[in-house]
Structure 1
């Protein structure tokens, strides 16, 4: 019987055998008992059951079948044996051996000590056959079986511990082995309907306790409805509904979807997955698949063949870590506020973080964008939102923010052309006014006064290009080399700086709190706890910002809401600070809002040429938070 889709240790077993056989054959020969011990154990280990049986005093067919049945009943990938010693006296002998059984299913090796009683039969040593030869506690009228108890999938939870999934109905197809007339036929029929390997299905049945319900395949509602007529036609197959918290709540693409294991996902995961198991397809459900599903308790037992009840437990273990919830920083209240703010006909994204911690509170998006690959990991031009980062370089260049600075519609700097498409900055604009209104041409004109190294250092302080790590895809930003005035001007205009909404929300949080902090999405488990073999993630420390820079930025970003183009972000409660910015990606106009209210910092990126659209979404978000949505 071929076993598919399961990690096995057969190669190592074969190597061990190659080492053991010469040792046994070179040292022992008849008339001692050693040759009989060697032939029996090597025959059992390699599956040459006839050779092994001939070294016993039992009926050859009976012993051969018992050895083969032991492998089937344990669903064993391999047996390995090592002789510990042989004692003989007259015509009697006893060999002590160590057994190592690979049960597969990612279980540890089952190790036990056995004994082979031997006696002379017509001048040849024979193993005195009884079931106890297979295991010292196996008796006549008993068989082996493997009992499994998988842990249920644990939830992903928000910062309060509430599950971010809802109950969904799954359907489990199972059998009771003792009630099946033809298990092989059932497995062949089920394999044709589901695609699961028939040999794998059969081995689960044959190794299970005969009187217990054995789940074989789990179906989601749609797949079960589609296959139900074919499944109900399989005699002996039983069905039962099972409620599991697998339907993701918002933010769905961050939490991730969960489905029942299919032949395809079983192969992708490398096995072994059992019926009732679920697999995370994306988001945190995928990133923490092994942590959420934990391990399966496995017991090797003996079963009474008359009563079909468990006689004795020989060994039990639950390998690996116990399953546990994944604790996130997500806030249901903030998430609902974000979803509602984006529901007003806009197409875009909103990321909210706690300014004082960097904790991700909400990730919202309309259907045109993906919350992970766009909101967390998307690479978008910063536009004049990058001017937040430019302020320190301007201050160090001793630029007076109140100085008059024209905001023409078009300007050329170092050969690079810039166009301001937003509202005018007033009849006598200042740098402060141009900042508040995101005037591209005015900001670009300052390129020759800025030290590129200072501008680059400022970007680093605000986390652009830093190596922070999340369990999902994410992008901290990047800046092209500032080799000349044109490159510096493009940076001031945010044209050669790529950022994600997440990275810009962290920029807003840095101004609000005075310290830039890396983002946090999951608080337990730590990324370093997921795999002992994986390289620990890089620790990115917080960066305390220059006090003068922060004070200036707070004033500028407050002006952006009170009298600049970010006025639509205003909301009751704590003062709202922020700026708007226009950008373009693949000739598609985009509108940014970057700012905060209280301890909640946001970045909004919306499609369209209306540079105030992002601020409008942010204003709705802050209002929703206040209204308790």
Structure 2
């Protein structure tokens, strides 16, 4: 019986690349045909390629290459027998003997071998639509720069029929620069044409099971990777609402660049592009922030709870020993980042700085500083609670947050600009901070009158700070040294010109500890152990509603919180701050 293909070995000529005669364009002039017919490629010079078929399973391994992105619409659309789509061999309209198993295996083996070694013309000639096949295979060959292409038959596929067998095969493409290979499986149908030949039925899925009309498969660069900063332990921070506007502001480390990756991509045909295989993954410079994801979660929850009803709020947590910002949260979510960019009067939390100035001026915690019911500067001032306490000391005034005592002693002992200098030199307030993202520096202006001075001593008037600045105040008292807060450890920090005298720092810690256990902060700080200290603040906002402020520390964690319209400091802001201290301040 006549056999269309040799059963075991096939010896075909092959022309070595790079040895074409001058003027050679891949086609013999004698074979140029006009119109809708194929341009028949010149047969190459001889080279041995051994192809083996055993039991219907066949393998071809050759080396191919070439970069490009050659995509022709009709290459994968199936072509057309009219309108320039290339010649088409149609199946017979009359009864035909179906291809035998051996014939189907043989033509599939020859087709895959020709495709694998880059003989596109030979492979296309073994299909029922040679022009469409030639264009599609050329597009794939040029678009996918494989170092080697291995095509392995896997036997009959379940989708075949007696009249048209379908055979499976596996593609393995290897590339320079990566040890990972791209592998996938597809199928091809085999039919008997009208002239009796056994051919591969051409379809875009012969190239790849997902390929359809108008699409191409090419190697393309992946989008430039976006750096996504992590927390200090390398954990993602994308899920935190308060950091949504922060993370995009984090620049990559100095001198680092993103590496654009490459992937085999299926695209075109009006469909969304799909990555089929990543050749080289993209990489973006990574940077770890000082944020602690666990504490950030607590801070988000605390602020969300205290801002219920639409009250703007913020909270910042700092590690006193390093100045690292461990958490920052604000509400409303998605709005202005008031935690680091806001500017408000801090109320009586500013008395920590005023107390430091008075202590440096010679006042001691035990110095008697009467707490009168009202006083004048000449403006009239009063306290939150009625009544006079003529025997109060500076420490008593501090823990009970007596306005009149601080105003009277401040006007007596401090010169205009003294508070501004202490705030800058010992606490770093008013210096230009570079925390890793844009932030607003504190404003502690020199007062122009006694009324302005009196207001500044109790955190009112023209003083403008935010939770970031006041968390740093608490951290400075706890550690005794100002360390500029940062979100990244590699940023350049500023240093305060001076340092809190050790006796002043100790006195401040003593007074803040009393406030946390006996004074206005005792309710929110109740139950917290370790080294603790706090100061409440109630800032007048020009209406019946007051702004709630609270600063505190517990061991190596300092927190500041504010809630606009939140009332007294020990209420809304105090509850939020204590929630964070309880979660993260247990260790020294």
Equivalent in the alignment of 1:451: 415
Q: CA deviation at 1:432?
A: 1.2
1:422–1:582: 8 Å Cα contact kept in structure 2?
A: no
Equivalent in the alignment of 2:165: none
Is the counterpart of residue 327 in structure 1 residue 288 in structure 2?
yes
Q: 1:470 to 1:345 in 2, by over 3 A?
A: closer
Q: CA deviation at 1:457?
A: 1.7
Matches of 1:539 and 1:404, distance apart in 2: 37
Q: 1:454 to 1:422 in 2, by over 3 A?
A: same
Please show how residues 468-547 of structure 1 align to structure 2 within 5 Å: 468-495=433-460, 496-523=462-489, 526=490, 539-540=494-495, 544-547=499-502
1:284–1:471: 8 Å Cα contact kept in structure 2?
A: no
1:592–1:611: 8 Å Cα contact kept in structure 2?
A: yes
What 5-or-longer segments of structure 2 have no aligned partner?
A: 1-67, 71-140, 146-217, 264-278
Matches of 1:477 and 1:157, distance apart in 2: 28
1:425–1:434: 8 Å Cα contact kept in structure 2?
A: no
Is the counterpart of residue 339 in structure 1 residue 300 in structure 2?
yes
Equivalent in the alignment of 2:231: 158
Q: Secondary structure at the match of 1:544?
A: coil
Q: 1:157 to 1:369 in 2, by over 3 A?
A: closer
1:422–1:438: 8 Å Cα contact kept in structure 2?
A: no
Q: Pick one of 140, 146, 149 that aligns with 2:222.
A: 149
Equivalent in the alignment of 2:569: 611
Q: Secondary structure at the match of 1:507?
A: helix
Any idea what the Cα deviations from partners look like across 1:273-323, whole Å, max 9, x if unmatched? Answer: xxxxxxxxx322244389999243589xxxxxxxxxxxxxxxx999xx951
1:448–1:485: 8 Å Cα contact kept in structure 2?
A: no
Larger radius of gyration: 2
Q: CA deviation at 1:386?
A: 1.2
Q: CA deviation at 1:472?
A: 2.4
Which structure dedicates a bigger proportion of its chain to strand?
A: 1
Any idea what the Cα deviations from partners look like across 1:364-419, whole Å, max 9, x if unmatched? Answer: 2343795x621111101021211111223212332243233333343211x33323
1:508–1:602: 8 Å Cα contact kept in structure 2?
A: yes
2:290–2:486: 8 Å Cα contact kept in structure 1?
A: yes
Moved runs in structure 1, 4+ residues, more than 6 A? 141-146, 289-293
Is the counterpart of residue 601 in structure 1 residue 564 in structure 2?
no
Once superposed, what is the RMSD of the aligned Cα atoms? 3.7
Q: Secondary structure at the match of 1:352?
A: strand
Matches of 2:566 and 2:142, distance apart in 1: 75
2:227–2:286: 8 Å Cα contact kept in structure 1?
A: yes
Matches of 1:382 and 1:566, distance apart in 2: 16
Q: 1:627 to 1:504 in 2, by over 3 A?
A: closer
Matches of 1:499 and 1:484, distance apart in 2: 21
Any idea what the Cα deviations from partners look like across 1:30-68, whole Å, max 9, x if unmatched? Answer: xxxxxxxxxxxxxxxxxxxxxxxxxxxxxxxxxxxxxxx
Residues paired across the two proteins, number: 354
Q: Pick one of 376, 382, 386 that aligns with 1:419.
A: 382
Q: 1:571 to 1:362 in 2, by over 3 A?
A: farther
Please show how residues 9-24 of structure 1 align to structure 2 within 5 Å: none
Please show how residues 85-484 of structure 1 align to structure 2 within 5 Å: 147-165=220-238, 249-250=239-240, 252-254=241-243, 256=244, 282-288=245-251, 294-297=258-261, 323-346=284-307, 347=311, 348-367=313-332, 370=335, 373-413=337-377, 415-422=378-385, 428-446=391-409, 447-460=411-424, 461-484=426-449
Q: Secondary structure at the match of 2:371?
A: coil
Q: Secondary structure at the match of 2:485?
A: coil
TM-score in terms of structure 2 length: 0.53
What 5-or-longer segments of structure 1 have no aligned partner?
A: 1-71, 75-140, 166-248, 257-281, 300-315, 528-536
